[in-house]
Amino acid sequence: MPDDVLKELLHPNEKKIVLLVIDGLGGLPLEKGGKTELETAHTPNLDALATEAECGLHLPVGFGITPGSAPGHLALFGYQPMEYPVGRGVVAAMGIAFPMRAGDVAARLNFATCDQHGLITDRRAGRIPTETCGRLCDLLGAVSIPGVEVFVRPVKDYRAVVVFRGEGLSDHVADTDPQTTGVKALEPKPTSEKGVKTASTAKEFIRQALVLLMAQAPANAILMRGFAELPHIPPMTERFGLRPAALAVYPDYKGVSRLVGMEVIDGLRDLNDQAEALKHHWDRYDFFFVHHKYADSRGEDGDFQAKVAEIERVDAFVPQIMARHPDVLIVTGDHSTPATMKSHSYHPIPFLLHGRNTRPDEVSEFGERPCAKGLWGIIPGVMLVQLALAYADKLSKYGA
Amino acid sequence: MPDDVLKELLHPNEKKIVLLVIDGLGGLPLEKGGKTELETAHTPNLDALATEAECGLHLPVGFGITPGSAPGHLALFGYQPMEYPVGRGVVAAMGIAFPMRAGDVAARLNFATCDQHGLITDRRAGRIPTETCGRLCDLLGAVSIPGVEVFVRPVKDYRAVVVFRGEGLSDHVADTDPQTTGVKALEPKPTSEKGVKTASTAKEFIRQALVLLMAQAPANAILMRGFAELPHIPPMTERFGLRPAALAVYPDYKGVSRLVGMEVIDGLRDLNDQAEALKHHWDRYDFFFVHHKYADSRGEDGDFQAKVAEIERVDAFVPQIMARHPDVLIVTGDHSTPATMKSHSYHPIPFLLHGRNTRPDEVSEFGERPCAKGLWGIIPGVMLVQLALAYADKLSKYGA
């Protein structure tokens, strides 16, 4: 539905919508004929919700497309990911609340280890702690490039973010991370004419950084990826008439939330904190994005049972959401991460939509196969927010 | 499919399509775990059709969007509602076959009652009969506005329509109906620069009308809403190669039918008349829109059982359609009207598509949940006519 038409229908009210995202929720059976992680998990609370809810599967980007974290979440927030391409650098910068400006270019920076020949021996610098990362970023503050301001900020562990500010910068620059060890880091190469100045800026940044880091082994090298400019995204308040809050633990998810204008509740460390925050801020917002990361992490590890356990952990958390009596609750994931694949995947993701005026289907278990038989079949993920608005009575009738 | 591409494929023939619309068909259970109105209704004829038919659910406008009557029907007639916005005034004028011209502006006019202070005490003037309405409209024929022709015509009961004809008019004017009693009617205000002349025309019309109606209590006031210009809609004959006829009782549905170039069979009062008309006109047309209003009316009343009874009434009428042996029969609704919500809703609407070459699915009962398991899942409502054309062999192969 075109933005301007939807805007005409918006009918804000006090009703509350909760979007509970179990990152990487969708999965696959360990062996043919078996159950997926979600189907294996003992989830009495989610099953009870599914029984009363409208169920289905969603595709965040498109048929056969594996979503990254940012597009997966943008879709769940109601933004067609292909209309709003968001690079990794921007997600990282937003995640630590770095105040990017139009024209800035951000990139993810990983501290790494190289040997005396400059060959990368560890792409994560022995997973140095965040404090070390902070100290190293301060050290890199000494980099000086004429005409370009440089900001280096720690994110978490070995991960940091660098932002270049100046005239004529762009994100048309390729990654320097070779994605393997035993080879040198790549040169930052422009991917088009537009990227020439940024690539040479990055090259000079790396040259000076390597000098500054010479005595800092295991963090004596850096790898850059995800050069990205800040996209213009209309905030959820303007687009959907919502007052949205993000209750996320991980920086990247705070980052995507900030991009769509959510207020980020900071300092949350786990589901208990998230439940407390939900209670504390309940009256202040009408859309709550609650994010749980570790189902994806354990899927990426290839640990089927650990992913099952994370899903069960979220199930046990569900009553703390229901204690608030949300008018609409959507439970889903941003993409699938089957433990058997150890990566994000293109499989559709189960969802349930719970609320007063839902039309129950015959699904009584929250899982991939049951949801495939749900009311909605497979829908574009970007439509979920529109459904949430409808079931929360926040959309008026279209036409006479 | 783009109009010009579809047009290339049109292959008109004598085969007959019937579109039976049970207004507001979709519903919700009275209580959790219960059945919807349609699932509750005893519908042996519809169930028998569903058993042989292809079933599914459709969305007339989009996910979470509650369709008004006009967009709901436009979708069923094969017109994407957002491409053809139709205001209430135009629907009303078309409903009484008023010959609107390009540039005309129509508005719904309700006779109302006001007290000596001008406060509205009854927004429907005690539901005066249609004959009184006609006499009052004649009385308002005395209104005279320089440079603008004014037409006032009765619709039904307290409802009438006014059409302004002149240079520089537009539909950028807000309603004067305050939607409540105990307050004055609103002034007709322009919603943009374009509406200034029409708003002042409406203001002068209301001023003169109030003088003319002074002694006509309970109909001593008027309320205007749904200012609308005539949109350009290519007729079904041109777009789909069909010769369509509308068999509707209510004026508004005749109105939407005329907008897409249907011939309206007038003077029908009930399903028996509609069955007779179907028989009588069978050879003259190849697309018959048969409309039954009261399922929606009883849903709006919040009367679950009465809505069930209306659906059963339509079921009993189905054999009179089948006696004609239509080549394709579609049975569906224009939107959902759950009795529990007493209003139109955003829920998808069940449909069945019956014909010779349909591929039966496993649906053996016409209902929301059974149809959700049907062949088609959930599809855009605007696609149903295209399917009807196909199953009536009215579309040739695309490409070599």
3-state SS, chain A, equals CCHHHHHHHECCCCCCEEEEEECCEECCCCCCCCCCHHHHCCCHHHHHHHHHCEEEEEECCCCCCCCCHHHHHHHHCCCCCCCCCCCHHHHHHHHCCCCCCCCCEEEEEEEEEECCCCEEEECCHHHCCHHHHHHHHHHHCCCCECCEEEEEEEEECCEEEEEEEECCCCCCECCCCCCCCCCECCCCCECCHHHHHHHHHHHHHHHHHHHHCCCCCCCCEEEEEEEEECCCCCCHHHHHCCCEEEECCCHHHHHHHHHCCCEECCCCCCHHHHHHHHHHHCCCCCEEEEEECHHHHHHHHCCHHHHHHHHHHHHHHHHHHHCCCCCEEEEECCCECCCCCCCCECCCEEEEEEECCCCCCCCCCCCHHHHHCCCCCEEEHHHHHHHHHHHCCCECCECC
Task: Kindly state the helix (H) or strand (E) to which residue B5 belongs, with its residue range.
Answer: helix B3-9
Among partner residues B66, B81, B368, which is closest to A359 by beta-carbon distance? B368
Chain B residues inside the 8 Å CB shell of A11: none
Spacing of C-alpha A173 from chain mean position: 22
Q: How would you write the pLDDT of chain B (400 residues) with one tens digit per residue?
A: 788 899 999 999 999 999 999 999 999 999 988 999 999 999 999 999 999 999 999 999 999 999 999 999 999 999 999 999 898 899 899 889 899 998 999 999 999 999 999 999 999 999 999 999 999 999 999 999 999 999 999 999 999 999 999 999 999 999 999 999 999 999 999 999 999 999 999 999 999 999 999 999 999 999 999 999 988 899 999 999 999 999 999 999 999 999 999 999 999 999 999 999 999 999 999 999 999 999 999 999 999 999 999 999 999 999 999 999 999 999 999 999 999 999 999 999 999 999 999 998 999 999 999 999 999 999 999 999 999 999 999 999 999 8
CA distance B2 to A390: 29
Chain A residues inside the 8 Å CB shell of B226: 400
Name the closest residue on chain B to residue A383, using Cα atoms: B63
Strand order across the A287-292 sheet: A263-264, A244-247, A287-292, A17-22, A328-332, A349-355, A54-59, A378-380
pLDDT digit string, tens, across residues A122-140? 999 999 999 999 999 999 9
Nearest to A262 by CA among A92, A94, A60: A94
CB contact under 8 A, B32 and A360: yes
Q: Read off φ and ψ for residue B374, nearest 5 degrees.
A: -75, 175
Task: Count Cβ neighbours within 10 Å for each residue of B145-154 and write b for 16 or more, e otherwise.
Answer: eeebebbbbb
CA distance A301 to B70: 54
Assess contact for A201 and A173: CB atoms under 8 A: no
pLDDT of residue A359: 93
Nearest to B222 by CA among B234, B212, B233: B212
CB contact under 8 A, A387 and B340: no
B95–A contact, CB cutoff 8 A:
no
Chain A residues inside the 8 Å CB shell of B61: 1, 398-399
Chain A residues inside the 8 Å CB shell of B64: 383, 386-391, 395
Gap from B95 CA to chain A (nearest CA, Å): 13
Side-chain-facing half-sphere of A238: CA atoms under 13 Å: 8
Q: Mean pLDDT score of chain A, rounded to an integer?
A: 96
Residues 50 through 89 of chain A touching chain B, CB cutoff 8 Å: 52
B192–A contact, CB cutoff 8 A:
no
pLDDT of residue B33: 84
pLDDT of residue A4: 84
Name the closest residue on chain B to residue A394, using Cα atoms: B64
* Higher-scoring residue by pLDDT: B101, A46: A46
Percentage of chain A beyond pLDDT 90 is 93
Test the A interface: residue of B37, B191, B224, B346 with most A CBs within 10 Å? B346
CB contact under 8 A, A387 and B64: yes
CB contact under 8 A, A389 and B86: no
Task: Kindly state the helix (H) or strand (E) to which residue B246 belongs, with its residue range.
Answer: strand B244-247
Q: Is residue A191 scored above 80 in pLDDT? A: yes
CA distance A398 to A37: 41
CB contact under 8 A, A1 and B82: yes
pLDDT of residue B105: 97
Task: Report CA torsion sign: A340, A344, A349, A353.
Answer: positive
Assess contact for B206 and B140: CB atoms under 8 A: no
Which two structure tokens, joined as six digits, stand for A111? 């501290």
pLDDT of residue A111: 97
B28–A contact, CB cutoff 8 A:
yes
Chain B residues inside the 8 Å CB shell of A389: 64
A396–B contact, CB cutoff 8 A:
yes
Mean pLDDT, range A327-344, rounded to an integer: 98
Residues 349 through 368 of chain A touching chain B, CB cutoff 8 Å: 357, 359-362
Q: If you count residue pairs, one on A and one on B, with CB atoms under 8 Å apart, how many are there?
A: 93
Neighbours of B82 (CB within 10 A): 18
Map tokens 């105040």 to a residue: A99
Spacing of C-alpha B25 from chain mean position: 13
Name the closest residue on chain B to residue A8, using Cα atoms: B65
A305–B contact, CB cutoff 8 A:
no
Grouping H, G, I as helix, E, B as strand and the rest as coil, residue B269 is coil
pLDDT of residue B153: 97
CA distances from B75 to B70, B79, B81, B99, B246 (A): 9, 5, 6, 23, 15
pLDDT of residue A360: 85
pLDDT digit string, tens, across residues A156-167? 999 999 999 999
Residues 196 through 215 of chain B touching chain A, CB cutoff 8 Å: none
B249, amino acid identity: V
CA distance B363 to B352: 10
B147–A contact, CB cutoff 8 A:
no
Name the closest residue on chain B to residue A53, using Cα atoms: B32
Chain A residues inside the 8 Å CB shell of B81: 398-399
Chain B residues inside the 8 Å CB shell of A390: 63-66, 346
What predicted TM-score, i.e. pTM, was given to this entire model?
0.89
CB contact under 8 A, B64 and A379: no
Neighbours of A106 (CB within 10 A): 28
Nearest to B312 by CA among B31, B21, B29, B37: B37
CB contact under 8 A, A398 and B69: no
Residue A263: burial class (beta carbons within 10 Å; 0-12, 13-18, 19+): middle
Assess contact for B68 and A399: CB atoms under 8 A: yes
CA distances from B244 to B17, B218, B261 (A): 9, 41, 8
Q: Give alpha helix (H) positions in B96-189.
A: 130-140
CB contact under 8 A, B377 and A377: yes
pLDDT of residue B102: 87
CA distance B50 to B135: 48
Name the closest residue on chain B to residue A357, using Cα atoms: B28
Assess contact for A54 and A375: CB atoms under 8 A: yes
Chain A residues inside the 8 Å CB shell of B56: none
Mean pLDDT, range A176-180, rounded to an integer: 94
Chain B residues inside the 8 Å CB shell of A399: 61, 67-71, 81, 85-86
CB contact under 8 A, A390 and B64: yes
CA distance B308 to B263: 31
Nearest to A352 by CA among A369, A335, A376: A376
Q: Is residue A120 scored above 80 in pLDDT? A: yes
CA distances from B337 to B22, B24, B103, B288 (A): 11, 5, 34, 24
Among partner residues B87, B340, B344, which is closest to A397 by beta-carbon distance? B344
pLDDT of residue B75: 98
CB contact under 8 A, B63 and A391: no
Task: Report CA torsion sign: B189, A1, A262, A14.
Answer: positive
Q: Is residue A288 scored above 90 in pLDDT? A: yes
Q: Is residue A1 scored above 80 in pLDDT? A: no
Band of residue A324 on the pLDDT scale cut at 50, 70, 90: very high
Q: Is residue A97 scored above 90 in pLDDT? A: no
CA distance A254 to A102: 19
Task: Kindly state the helix (H) or strand (E) to which residue B290 belongs, with its residue range.
Answer: strand B287-292
CB contact under 8 A, B66 and A400: no
A47–B contact, CB cutoff 8 A:
no
CB contact under 8 A, B86 and A398: no
Q: Please measure the distance between the N-terminal and C-terminal CA atoms of chain A and give it in whole angstroms.
A: 17
Mean pLDDT, range A377-390, rounded to an integer: 98
Task: Kindly state the helix (H) or strand (E) to which residue B372 belongs, with its residue range.
Answer: helix B368-372
CA distances from B37 to A231, B32, B307, B368, B372 (A): 48, 13, 7, 9, 16
